[in-house]
Amino acid sequence: MGKHWNVTIGKGAGKSYVNVYIDGNRFRYWNGKAIGLKLSALENPELLRSAFELKLMEGWRPKPRKPSKETREVVKELTLLEIISTRLERIQQQDYSYHYKRDCRWIANLWTAYAEEHRLVKLSPSQITKTRLVDFITQPKWSPRTQKNVLTNFKILTNGELDIMLESIKLRRVKSELHKTIRNPKELLNDIKLYDERLYLACILTYGCLLRPHQEVRLLKWGDIDLERKIISLSGKRNKSGRNRVVPLSAFVIEALSSFSKRKERSEYILSSSDKPYNRDFLSLLWSRYKKTSKVLEDGVTLYSWRHHGAVKVFEKTGSLLKLQQVMGHSDMKVSLTYLRGLEVKQLDVADLPDF
């Protein structure tokens, strides 16, 4: 089981306070006197909440005493919906990725609808049965991959309250997908260039530098590029791995960048040619429109296929998992290995196979 407490920030009559939920009870604090801290919730509620969390992790617990409006209010055990709602609110306030926050909102909404339909809204975690959890997570309309994602994110949102039951749920095995290389890259790039030069440049950067198109390419600035040293530099805050990343520029990438825009202000986003980037869905929509008109594009090829194609080429040329990890910007070599398993990489040479 996870921890048996939770700390949130509440508001009442225009004033902030800290809620400490523990053992089915709620303790309300307007200041840090109970933990020996001279700090009011009015001054800094986030700091006071963090202080209470630290004390709880150190083993501190609220002292039993008579209920007081200013210090403690005892309530019934939290419902599962309340726990999920509190956890979701905390996640949305933290510096997590857009997709992680989006997925958590999606799962929270799914459970809310399910709970309302099956009259589970007022039930606490201890009142939820494993049968209900299995029914929710293994809905037939979801693929095995979706069910796995639902289970993973639901565990996060329930804050450890249902881990024992959730970990015992057996799901159907997720079948591996094989991302094939692009059969006609040059022909396809020429076709894309005729359709839209922004999409063309995005494909070049995704393939030639193995950048993630929807985030790293879309938010790439001229200030990130050093054409003299022939490198792109991204700080840890600018890429998924959280680590600083330096990628060399091939000649064809430099040529595409040089011919794309005459203005090269350091603060200017490359694709939008302004000080404001395109929105998060811009490249997805542009690719969808291109897909409808193209007579060259093969089935199953997506914008992200250019990154897959580039990864295969890097591994085939170098045979080095370490170099692939570095150029892909993966935080761990295990991620690169898992990534390779999903790509159309030749595992054997003809000479390795049996003959007569």
Highest mean predicted confidence (pLDDT) among 11-25, 56-70, 132-146: 132-146
- Is the per-residue pLDDT at 13 higher than 50? yes
What single string gives the DSSP state of each residue in 148-201? Answer: HHHHHHHHHHTTTTTHHHHHT---PPPPPP-BPPPS-HHHHHHHHHHH-HHHHH
Mean pLDDT to the nearest integer, 206-226: 91
Using pLDDT thresholds of 50, 70 and 90, give the confidence band for residue 145.
confident
Q: CA distances (Å), 70 to each of 28, 35, 41, 44, 61, in order?
A: 7, 15, 12, 17, 17
pLDDT tens-digit series, residues 309-327: 888 888 888 878 788 787 7
Residue that is written with structure tokens 């939008």 in the block: 272
User: Residue 70: what residue type?
Assistant: E
The residue that leads in pLDDT, 261 or 241, is 261
Residue 223 three-state SS: helix
Other C-beta atoms lying within 10 Å of the C-beta of residue 326: 18
Distance of CA 237 to the CA centre of its chain: 14
Third-level CATH fold of 185-341: hpI Integrase; Chain A (1.10.443)
Using pLDDT thresholds of 50, 70 and 90, give the confidence band for residue 328.
confident
For residue 80, give the nearest of 195, 175, 165, 191 by alpha carbon: 165
CA distance 187 to 110: 43
Using pLDDT thresholds of 50, 70 and 90, give the confidence band for residue 350.
very low
- Which of these ranges, 29-38, 211-220, 227-236, 338-347, has the smallest mean pLDDT? 338-347
Kindly report the average pLDDT of the chain as a whole number: 84
The residue that leads in pLDDT, 265 or 201, is 201
Mean pLDDT to the nearest integer, 137-150: 91
Q: CA distances (Å), 159 to each of 1, 6, 22, 322, 333, in order?
A: 9, 9, 13, 36, 29
Q: Which pLDDT belongs to residue 346?
A: 57
Other C-beta atoms lying within 10 Å of the C-beta of residue 196: 14
Tokens of 110: 């799914």
pLDDT tens-digit series, residues 157-206: 998 888 888 989 998 886 666 666 788 899 999 999 999 999 999 999 99
Q: Which pLDDT belongs to residue 354?
A: 57
Q: Strand order in 245-248's β-sheet? A: 225-226, 231-234, 245-248
Residue that is written with structure tokens 């589970």 in the block: 120
What single string gives the DSSP state of each residue in 101-153? Answer: HHHHHHHHHHHHHHHHHTT-TT--GGG--HHHHHHHHT-TTS-HHHHHHHHHH
Residue ranges of domains in the chain: 5-57, 80-167, 185-341
CA distance 312 to 131: 44
Q: Which pLDDT belongs to residue 341?
A: 65
Tokens of 246: 């330096």
The residue that leads in pLDDT, 195 or 38, is 195
Q: Which pLDDT belongs to residue 344?
A: 61
Distance of CA 193 to the CA centre of its chain: 31
For a pLDDT cut of 90, what percent of the chain falls above it? 39
Tokens of 83: 């726990």
- Which of these ranges, 29-43, 55-69, 90-104, 279-293, has the smallest mean pLDDT? 55-69
Q: Which pLDDT belongs to residue 11?
A: 75
CA distance 306 to 308: 5
Q: Which pLDDT belongs to residue 278?
A: 94
Q: Which pLDDT belongs to residue 190?
A: 95
Residue 21 three-state SS: strand
Residue 6 three-state SS: strand
- Is the per-residue pLDDT at 44 higher than 70? yes
CA dihedral sign of residues 295, 188, 320, 218: negative
